[in-house]
Structure 1
Amino acid sequence: MITSTSNPQIKNIVQLEKKPRARKEQGLFVVEGSKMFAEAPRDNIKKVYCSQSFLEKSEHRDLLESKGFGPDCQGTEVVEDKVFKGLSDTMSPQGILCVMRQMAYTLEEILGGNTKDGTPFLLLLEDLQDPGNLGTILRTGEGAGVTGVIMSRNTVDIYNPKVIRSTMGSVYRVPFLYTDSLLGILPRLKEAGITTYAAHLQGVSDYDRQDYTGGTGFLIGNEGNGLSDALSFGADVKIKIPMCGQVESLNAAMACGILAYEAYRQRRG
């Protein structure tokens, strides 16, 4: 049992939680909570850490056993409660934490789509900075049938613990990748039969007047600055979400949700 915060494993978990560079160098990230453990791909789990009190409940021990990580397993570490509390990134720790291997996807895999008919449905995110927004976008995207998310290099780290929590498990199931140039991959999207739509205040068409039943990619910009001019002009179509009152723009995650579910509505039909 781990009883000290000076334990090397504990120190490393803190580094993984706080530093994107550590996550990148090690190819690892951290998830917390029973739900995130239960839904985690078994092969991506490197090690599980449980508090003493977590193991007192039979249902918790059953959960561990169901994925082959019982209390006596080599891949499971028991942590003294006070040490675990300092280790947790949440206000109310659930008593279970996992160190995970990062996922890896290629552009070709994402462009292939994972719908029944293979039609890609993508979200293209430029320089988003809010962890909650990115996590919500992945979760909403999964619900709407998005087949992949492509992000600019300056977008917040998807393995940030706040992003991970906000995805509620969708990070395991929605393919994603970072690119040095969203503008640079637009020709590749066109070759794959994907029409790109820039959500823009100067859009020439209301978002619900377009056909999203074919290959579709929505471009969503930074929370404060919106899409760059280069990406806006590079998109096939500029669309807008009409708004009442004096509202000038919507939250990035909200805009993504509106667009994604309009596409989902059309595709369901």
Structure 2
Amino acid sequence: MISSSSNGQIKNLMQLQKKAKARNEQDVFVIEGIKMYEEVPKDKVVKVYISESLYNDILLKYSEEYFNNVSYEVVKDTVFKEVSDTITPQGIMAIIKKQHYDLKDILNQEAANLVILEDLRDPGNLGTIIRTSEGAGVTGIILSKSCVDLYNPKVIRSTMGSIYRMPYIYVEDLKDTLEKAKKCGVALYAAHLAGRKDYDKEDYTKKCGILIGNEANGLSEEIAELADRYIKIPMEGRVESLNAAIAAAILMYEIYRQRRY
């Protein structure tokens, strides 16, 4: 049992929680919580850390079979609470191998339905978009390199497990990537103040991608200019714009609605 926060494994776990550099160097990220652990593909698990109290509960309910084919360590409750990124820890964390996807595969899908993010900074927004993307049948998410780190613990928690199933890729040059997407037949739509057509008046049944920009500033002019269509989400009152994740969800589900029938 690990009983000290000065243990090398615990120090590494803390670094992986806090530092993107450590995650990149080891090509892993950290998940926390029972649901997140139970949904992870077990071949992606590097190491599991479980609090002493939860371990004893699991032995009573499931026996050691709960940890079949994974390497794990039991951690003293006080140490686990110290390393946890949540206020009320569920008692289980794991180091997971990152999944890698190919841009060509994402762009060349026959029914490509993409969400393209430029400079999104809020972890909760990104996690919500990933989770909603899975629910709405999105086939891939493309992120500019300036977006918040997808492996940030807050993002991971917000995905509620969709991180394991939703293809995604960071790109160095978003403009170049969008030009490649257009060559692959992907029509690009941007929610924009200059939009004249309501979002639900367009046809999204062919290969398409929606562009979502920074929470405060929206899309950059350079990226917005690459859109094939500007669309608008009609609003009442004095509201000028919606939260990025909400706007993305509205557009994603309109595409889903059109493709269902």
Pairwise TM-score range, normalised by the shorter structure: over 0.9
TM-score, normalised to structure 1's length? 0.94
Instruction: Say if 2:15 and 2:22, in contact at 8 Å, map to a contact too.
Output: yes
Q: Which residue of 2 aligns with 1:217?
A: 209
**Which letter does structure 2 place at the counterpart of 1:215?**
K
Percent identity of the aligned residues? 55
1:60 CA drift (Å)? 7.8
Counterpart of 2:237 (choices 241, 245, 254) is: 245
Counterpart of 2:93 (choices 97, 109, 112) is: 97
Q: Whole-Å Cα distance in 1 between the matches of residues 184 and 149 of structure 2?
A: 27
**Which letter does structure 2 place at the counterpart of 1:105?**
Y
Instruction: Give SS of 2:100's match.
Output: coil
Does residue 47 (structure 1) correspond to residue 47 (structure 2)? The answer is yes
Q: Which residue of 2 aligns with 1:28?
A: 28
Instruction: Say if 2:58 and 2:66, in contact at 8 Å, map to a contact too.
Output: no
TM-score, normalised to structure 2's length? 0.96
Deviations 1:195-230 (A, max 9, x none): 000111111211111001110100000000000001
Q: Which shifted more, 129-138 or 57-66? A: 57-66
* Root mean square deviation, CA, Å: 1.5
Q: Which shifted more, 60-69 or 173-182? A: 60-69
Q: How does 1:55-66 map to 2 (within 5 A)?
A: 55-58=55-58, 62=62, 65-66=65-66
1:154 CA drift (Å)? 0.4
1:185 CA drift (Å)? 1.2
Instruction: Say if 1:121 and 1:147, in contact at 8 Å, map to a contact too.
Output: yes
Instruction: Give SS of 1:53's match.
Output: helix
Q: How does 1:95-244 map to 2 (within 5 A)?
A: 95-113=91-109, 118-244=110-236
Does residue 267 (structure 1) correspond to residue 259 (structure 2)? The answer is yes
**Which letter does structure 1 place at the counterpart of 2:251?**
L
The 1:224/1:25 distance shift into structure 2, 3 A limit, reads: same
Unaligned regions of 5+ residues in structure 1, if any?
A: none
The 1:99/1:257 distance shift into structure 2, 3 A limit, reads: same
Q: Whole-Å Cα distance in 2 between the matches of residues 266 and 4 of structure 1?
A: 55
Q: Whole-Å Cα distance in 1 between the matches of residues 155 and 176 of structure 2?
A: 26
Q: Which shifted more, 160-169 or 22-31? A: 22-31
The 1:220/1:59 distance shift into structure 2, 3 A limit, reads: farther
Instruction: Say if 1:42 and 1:67, in contact at 8 Å, map to a contact too.
Output: no
Instruction: Say if 2:131 and 2:159, in contact at 8 Å, map to a contact too.
Output: yes
1:26 CA drift (Å)? 1.0
Q: Which shifted more, 55-64 or 14-23? A: 55-64
